A and B are shown apart, each in its own frame.
Chain A
């Protein structure tokens, strides 16, 4: 049974292939109900009692008849369970801040944190004409025992000075790691002091690894600091002509942001700043001048989208550039937003041209992939976004989950009022934001914006759940045990996950596609990206190598 799509606003596309994609995404799971129930029971019953009780709330069998299904998310990890999760430092420096390639990012801590976040996420960066490029560098205060005992503030001061003397960067960021908070180093104070001394933008991020329960806390901390110290720093530029947007929560993994920008530019839409893929400091300081924020990864950047709306009146639109029909739908949403017949026509022309090429090129792969089943376990947004792209290939997502998303990413933003911030996340600062007396300039009248809100064009994310059909499974913060059981019981054709799982999955003889680093391929976003993706998925699923896993004398006759 497919969930009835009662409210299909105008800007949604209604072509046949789009309908086919959506129908497949929302169709019933091919795994029968009994098997699904038994599997969930098998998973839960293996846990110690208390753990079983907790984990059962993180696993939901999708039931479209219950419009307000709930899932537990964004709570602490059970010690010892073997989680995929990382920490707040990874969410802040590794994800949101690090991709700014013309900025020197200094990690204040022992050597590990800077080292492991050095070139391991593939947020690509291109040097601007007059710009600098630090993306291949790793900077740290490399704290030792002496710094732990006597404090590391002096060393941090010196490190900032040395970085400044060596590179004269546009901006410097400082990132705290676990011990920094414990020994009481005041990195905010040092940043303020050195910013004044060097007359340079120096921002400090208190993203100690133990804060919150996952990478998510780090996103929030990064958003706050960017909002306070970077946005609106360009006071020279007063306005920018044309249709302008920022892309928020797009990290240019494998060149995704470049493909998105190519298509937007073709439509006649200019990207002012991207947070943070291929991000440059100067562009970021102009972000407040854009007419709209396009939110790609809701989890990591919705804080800034909301704060910018309050302070500058910039509305935000949730978009998905993964999957050709999803991209088309997002472009139409933008056309509806700008509401200019000429722009709308150009967008329609671009969609027609790009869709035709992509569909033709995908067709060959689709033939070989249609009907296959997929699990998706990815950070905080891709487990939803990629369901569209897999559906473009005729593949059905039967189990999906996030490492660290919150209930609103699963259930939609209507769940927000119901979410209680628990003790583990209470200490993440919530900024109080007010309209800026000079720069509050909404691009549209309040009536128009209200209408767009009603149509769910702006300010809305409906979450992953409504896109998943009856009997599919949602698993939040999956453990190794859960992954193991689900593989054995459901035998999917492909699992989209990360590096820690990849070879576990493949040792079971099941192909795995990394959806954090794309197995060093990409881009996967946009129209050209979808074709890359189709080719790569085909190569994983249909590779002749899998036939040799069992020796001929081991195979049943």
Chain B
């Protein structure tokens, strides 16, 4: 497995090998699925749309609906206006969504299609029915990554759909970040327990984790209703979880409607969850309920009970900045040593936070943004680790180097559960920590000789 990877690390300027990221539109498609009765639309050639739908489907084992402008060579020369008009006509007649959320591809971005003008013209010409909405985000694949795409669509939701009235609302806006439906569901429950009213968007729970009922619903019951977004401009504040994904939308909301925002690390691990709770306390003047405090205590209880298995453990981590940063902090808080921490997404946030978390605790740690799994593998070959925490693509390194692997982040194409069980909040962190611990204990059971094979661990 991966036998061609040399141990010696050569500087590469041009060749990306085994990327730890993908391109913008898939993130935008995922964010758009978090609107109720919304059909994502990919303005480009149809290959992108098929790839993005397939990839999300493999991750969720769920239908992922989206349409495409299906560019041909002629379109590439003359522009995609006619294709978009045809697409909107067909979509509204046939599939009747309330919102069409358009993302672009490197094709439509390179030829320079002017989406606002095209949408306006479609509106003027009656191609878009009066009670229907068409929004768009520019998502050039050659800028940033899938996280940028999510961020751009979340911002587009604010720019197009959020309004301000004269009635202030005793509620907060929560932008949950590029997370699993289980995470968003858990965050909503968390706020409810807290007694905080909220508008949560985008919200993919009940969209990409729907029950089997024998009846296919093209637009499942989940997704943030456009109605709810109309009051988001009147909220007390916005909490943006995962700055890479969520901060742009929160900032835009502040500029548009004067709603102040706080950008926080995703609440993964005890410290990040505490900061989330403290922020909610400050913003709403509410005390956390006993149930949450108890959950916090249970999380810390596992950390202290099982610390011997994590203390000093060398760990390699890769994934999206918003996930990797709090995970790294969580590992450090458990006494582990995240020695290699990488992301494919170029990110100042990642570099800054990694330095804050690691410089005093794990001074030998190598952390790097805008890099790839080939590099991570080379680091591991030079100085091995005890545990790998990555998305699915880490499985090749784990096998090649015989390292226990915990799948975490996006995407996970070969296991089930990631969309049903959260990793955010105290309870989600408990679940993540248990997965890590149980993976290590499984490995110990596999490796220990018969004479020291333990009953109690």
Contact = CB atoms under 8 A, between A and B. Distances in A.
A52 to B, nearest CB: 10
A177 B106 contact: yes
A156 interface: yes
Given A111-B344, A120-B54, 5 more contacts: A80-B94, A106-B15, A137-B4, A158-B15, A549-B213
B50 A141 contact: no
A498 B218 CA distance: 18
Contacts of A509: 212, 214-215
Interface in B45-78: 45-48, 50-55, 57-58, 61-76
B93 A162 contact: no
Contact of B47 (A86, A143, A507): A86
Contact of B94 (A46, A112, A212): A46
14 contacts: A79-B67, A87-B47, A90-B50, A111-B16, A111-B21, A137-B374, A138-B18, A139-B15, A140-B19, A142-B19, A167-B4, A499-B54, A503-B63, A507-B213
A182 B16 contact: no
A81 B89 CA distance: 10
A136 B396 contact: yes
Contacts of A77: 46, 68, 70
Given A79-B87, A116-B54, A138-B19, A182 B73 contact: no
A145 B23 contact: no
Q: 10 nearest interchain CB pairs?
A: A87-B47, A112-B23, A80-B87, A158-B14, A79-B87, A80-B90, A142-B16, A116-B51, A509-B214, A110-B141
A209 B52 CA distance: 14
Interface stretch (B5-13, B245-253, B259-267, B335-343): B5-13
Interface string A148-169: 1000000111110111011100
A427 interface: yes
Contact of B90 (A81, A144, A163, A503): A81
Contacts of A115: 19, 21-23
B67 A82 contact: yes
Contact of B2 (A84, A137, A147, A181): A137
A311 interface: no
A79 B83 contact: yes
Nearest to A144: B142
A212 B87 CA distance: 19
A139 B50 contact: no
Given A159-B14, A213-B72, A509-B214, A82 B48 contact: no
A500 B64 contact: yes
A211 B14 contact: no
A41 B70 CA distance: 25
B238 interface: no
A490 interface: no
Interface centre among B46, B75, B110, B374 (most CB of A within 10 A): B46
A163 B23 contact: no
B58 A499 contact: yes
Interface string B133-156: 000000011110100000000000
Interface string B78-110: 000001101111110111000000000111011
B107 A178 contact: yes
Residue of B51, B57, B140, B214 with most partner-chain A CB within 10 A = B51
Interface in B1-48: 1-4, 6, 10, 12-19, 21-23, 25-26, 41, 44-48
Interface in A86-116: 86-90, 106, 109-116
Contacts of A139: 15-17
Contact of A116 (B13, B55, B68): B55
A179 B65 contact: no
Contacts of A145: 140, 142-143
Interface string A119-146: 0100000010000111011111111110
Interface in A525-557: 549-550
A367 interface: no
A442 B261 CA distance: 76
B13 A89 contact: no
Contact of B41 (A80, A90, A161, A424): A80
Interface in B415-432: none
A65 interface: no
B13 A162 contact: yes
Contacts of A80: 41, 67-69, 86-91, 94
Nearest to B57: A499
Given A48-B90, A112-B22, A504 B63 contact: yes
A444 interface: no
A127 B4 CA distance: 11
A480 interface: yes
B13 A178 contact: no
A47 B51 contact: no
Interface string B100-141: 000001110111000000000000000000000000000011
Contacts of B284: none
Contacts of A166: 4, 6, 10, 15
A507 B215 contact: yes
Contacts of A265: none
A100 to B, nearest CB: 14
Given A120-B54, A136-B2, A179-B142, A148 B210 contact: no
B6 A182 contact: no
Contacts of A499: 54, 57-58
Contacts of A423: 74
A506 B86 CA distance: 30
A162 B14 contact: yes
Given A178-B106, A506-B212, A155 B14 contact: yes
A424 B13 CA distance: 37
A170 interface: no
Contact of A133 (B4, B41, B83, B212): B4
Interface in A493-508: 498-500, 502-504, 506-508
A451 interface: no
Contacts of A138: 17-19
Given A112-B51, A162-B13, A162-B15, A148 B142 contact: yes
A210 interface: yes
Residue among B10, B22, B141, B142 facing the most chain A CB atoms (10 A cut-off) = B142
A78 B67 CA distance: 10
Contact of A500 (B16, B45, B50, B61): B50
A183 interface: yes
Nearest to A116: B51
A188 B21 CA distance: 28
A368 interface: no
A51 interface: yes
A210 B18 CA distance: 25
B95 A481 contact: yes
B210 A507 contact: yes
B6 to A, nearest CB: 7
Contacts of B61: 503
Contacts of B218: 480, 484
Contacts of B41: 80
A158 B10 CA distance: 13
Given A145-B142, A179-B107, A507 B4 contact: no
A76 interface: yes
Contacts of A157: 14
A85 interface: yes
B115 to A, nearest CB: 15
Nearest to B12: A162
A56 interface: no
A84 B50 contact: yes
A481 B94 contact: yes
Nearest to A551: B213
A110 B57 contact: no
A161 B11 CA distance: 12
Given A111-B22, A162-B12, A506-B212, A133 B76 contact: no
Residue picked from B19, B41, B52, B140, most chain A C-beta under 10 Å = B19
Contacts of B13: 155, 158, 162
A182 B62 CA distance: 35
